[in-house]
Amino acid sequence: MRRKVIAGNWKMNNDLKETQNLLSRLTSGISVNNLNCDVIVCPAFTSLFEAYTLLKDTKIKLGAQNMYFETSGAFTGEISAAMLKSVGCEYVILGHSERRNIFGETDELINNKIKKANASGLKPIFCVGELLEEREAGITEKVIEKQIRSGLKDISSEEMGNMIIAYEPVWAIGTGKTASPEQAEEVHKFIRSLINDKCGASISENIIIQYGGSVNNKNARELLSQKDIDGALIGGASLKADSFIDIIQAT
């Protein structure tokens, strides 16, 4: 039985004060040391240490939204894995469609980031997903397969045990359009079969595959009840304590 994992991707929202307010509403609204699922919040870099301080006595875990794969040096504007570890991060989102499509991140770059995160003891939340035109052209599986195979190139079975995969159809992110539970389940099942080919049954049966794309307190329960959907990566609905708590409770 895989334990569900609910993660909030705050994106470029919430300054320090807003972080304090949102986390205070979140931690007072749920039983923070007795959660029925794993909960991760991923604030902006500038709020990570404050979030770590506010969450360190709770079971809520901390993640970042991105990192660079080099150890240190002349990479203006970038953040390393060690820096994220030093402010209490346990997870890092990698390969988000906004990184791929707005900032031009390639499968190769994402693969390097995943390798560095693993080597540094950070757990990647590795995002994959097709564009609307790719779904309409009937090539969803082909796109997902390429992203998975390239992103996970040379990642060992042992490292895979540390990872979360998030299936996020790009057409469903921030648009209010959600994949139907059946559409999402079909792709999750396919991703699990790819992991089975790569690493065998034990890893593929245990790996957490989250769904992301306009998850909210109305659609979460049905999505999360699908056999291969093990949690959710949530953007918009994680910015309001009430809706995030409702989703946590839907597990």
Catalytic residue among 96, 134, 159, 188: 96
Distance CA 124, CA 113 (A): 9
96 catalytic per annotation: yes
> According to CB under 6 A, which one of 54, 187, 207, 233 is a site residue for ligand PEP?
233
Site membership for ligand PEP, residue 234 (CB under 6 A):
yes
Q: Which is nearer to ligand PEP, 199 or 241 (CB)?
A: 241
How far CA 89 is from CA of 45, 224, 240, 246, in Å, comes to 10, 25, 22, 24
> According to CB under 6 A, which one of 4, 6, 8, 9 is a site residue for ligand PEP?
9
Residue nearest to ligand PEP (CB): 235
Q: Which amino acid is at 135?
A: R
Distance CA 38, CA 168 (A): 19
> According to CB under 6 A, which one of 118, 204, 214, 219 is a site residue for ligand PEP?
214
Q: How far is the CB of 178 from ligand PEP (least distance, A)?
A: 8
Binding mask 147-176 for ligand PEP (x = CB under 6 A): ---------------------x----xx--
Whether 100 contacts 169, CB under 8 Å: no
Q: How far is the CB of 198 from ligand PEP (least distance, A)?
A: 24
Where do we find the tokens 């979360």? 164
Catalytic residue among 98, 168, 185, 188: 168
How far CA 143 is from CA of 11, 31, 129, 184, 198, in Å, comes to 24, 40, 8, 15, 17
Q: Which of 190, 228, 224 is nearest to 208 (CA)?
A: 228
Whether 225 contacts 235, CB under 8 Å: no
Q: Which is nearer to ligand PEP, 185 or 203 (CB)?
A: 185
Site membership for ligand PEP, residue 84 (CB under 6 A):
no
> Rounded to the nearest 10 degrees, what angle do helices 140-151 and 181-199 cross at?
40
Site membership for ligand PEP, residue 235 (CB under 6 A):
yes
Q: How far is the CB of 127 from ligand PEP (least distance, A)?
A: 7
- Size of the residue set binding ligand PEP (CB under 6 A): 13
List of residues contacting ligand PEP (CB under 6 A):
9, 168, 173-174, 212-215, 233-237
